[in-house]
Amino acid sequence: MPFDFPAPVVRHQAINRDHFLLTLESPRVARAARPGQFVMLRTRPGHDPLLRRPMSIYRVPPSGRGQVQILYKVVGSGTRYLSGQAAGARLDMLGPLGNGFRPPRPGRRPVLVAGGIGIAIFPFLVDRLLRRGSRPILLYGARCRGDLVALSYFQARRVPVRLVTEDGSAGARGLVTRLLEPILGGEGGEERCELFVCGPSPMLRAVGALAVEAGVPCQLALESQMPCGIGVCLGCVVPCPADADGPLYRRVCTEGPIFEAGTVEP
């Protein structure tokens, strides 16, 4: 059950020029949240911008102090205004929303695949996976070294991380699919893993297709323009494979944002 209340900013750290880690206080959201869910956040008061912005829950710090963290990248005006919110400000926050990840199938090792700011969805998932004794690994692609964030979170927990950047400034050069192919192609055997994927749509399409082809279960975390986040505007839909009645659409906000690869066309 989602809640909607103003949440005080507890801390707001700049990670680099355009990435920020925001800690909000919201015991209700903290208690109810599951990995893969998100919140709708007002970035500042007033009508510019008009709509709230969807943000994955980065972590619910296990301190038990009812905090919720968001890791975000400044890409436009909403996120730029958000980055100006100092500790003490109160931001309207609606959540937790969406379905969240389902736990990995028994016996499968979670392989997390992140593209760019898609990394923000994974620490909360890793917290839970580690508690359940799973041993996830992370494949992480970004445009350049400066876009690789949150690495210390994974290193501190000894989650194996393989990196790739488009310009080769860190890890291998190329796209994240390059890291995935050996894993799907045998390195350990395909029965052994399950993919959790978050990143831009072209990446979701490519990784989803590889997973379907390899017969590996694969959960995709989709993005979409989300005016409401609660299933009523019908604005955030993603096409699904057409049936006899023609194209079918699903709401990313309530039927997702997590979908099984092959069931949607991001």
Partner 1 sequence: MKTPRRGAQGAPRGAGAVDLSVTLGPLRLKNPVVAASGTFGYGTEFLPYLRLSDLGGFVTKGLSLKPRRGNAPPRTCETPAGMLNAIGLANVGVEAFLDEKLPALRRHDTVVIANVFGETQDEYVAVARRLNGAPGLHAIELNLSCPNTDKGGIAFGVSPPVVRQVVAAVRRAAPGLPLIVKLTPNITDIAVAARAAREGGADILSLVNTFLGMAVDLKARRPVLDNLAGGLSGPAIKPLALYMVQRVYREVDLPIMGMGGISTAQDALEFMVAGSAAVQVGTVNFFDPKASVRIVREIAAWCRKEGVRAVREIIGALRLPPGAPPAPRAV
Ligand X SMILES: Cc1cc2nc3c(=O)[nH]c(=O)nc-3n(C[C@H](O)[C@H](O)[C@H](O)COP(=O)(O)OP(=O)(O)OC[C@H]3O[C@@H](n4cnc5c(N)ncnc54)[C@H](O)[C@@H]3O)c2cc1C
Binding interface with partner 1 (CB under 8 A): 1-4, 42, 47-52, 92, 94, 143, 200, 202, 224-225, 227-228, 230-239, 245-249
> Of the two residues 72 and 179, which places its CB atom closer to ligand X in the complex?
72
Q: Nearest distance from residue 47's CB to partner 1, in Å?
A: 4
- Judged by CB under 6 A, does residue 251 bind ligand FES? yes
Say how far apart CA 220 and CA 201 lie, in whole Å. Answer: 10
Residue from the set 38, 58, 72, 81 that interacts with a copy of itself by CB under 8 A: 81
> Of the two residues 46 and 106, which places its CB atom closer to a copy of itself in the complex?
46
Say how far apart CA 149 and CA 165 lie, in whole Å. Answer: 12
| Strand blocks (E) in the chain | 3-14, 19-25, 38-41, 53-56, 67-73, 90-97, 109-115, 137-142, 161-165, 172-173, 193-198, 218-221, 237-243, 246-251, 258-260
What residues make contact with ligand X under the rule CB under 6 A?
Answer: 38, 49, 53-56, 70-73, 75-79, 117, 120, 223-226, 257
Say how far apart CA 261 and CA 40 lie, in whole Å. Answer: 25
Say how far apart CA 137 and CA 126 lie, in whole Å. Answer: 9
- Judged by CB under 6 A, does residue 234 bind ligand FES? yes
> Of the two residues 16 and 225, which places its CB atom closer to ligand FES in the complex?
225
- Judged by CB under 8 A, does residue 131 bind a copy of itself? no
Q: Which of 221, 231, 225 is nearest to 200 (CA)?
A: 221
Region 63-102 residues binding ligand FES, contact defined as CB under 6 A:
none
Interacting span for a copy of itself (CB under 8 A) from 25-33, 44-52, 169-177, 247-255: 44-52
Rule CB under 8 A: which residues touch a copy of itself? 45-48, 77, 81, 86
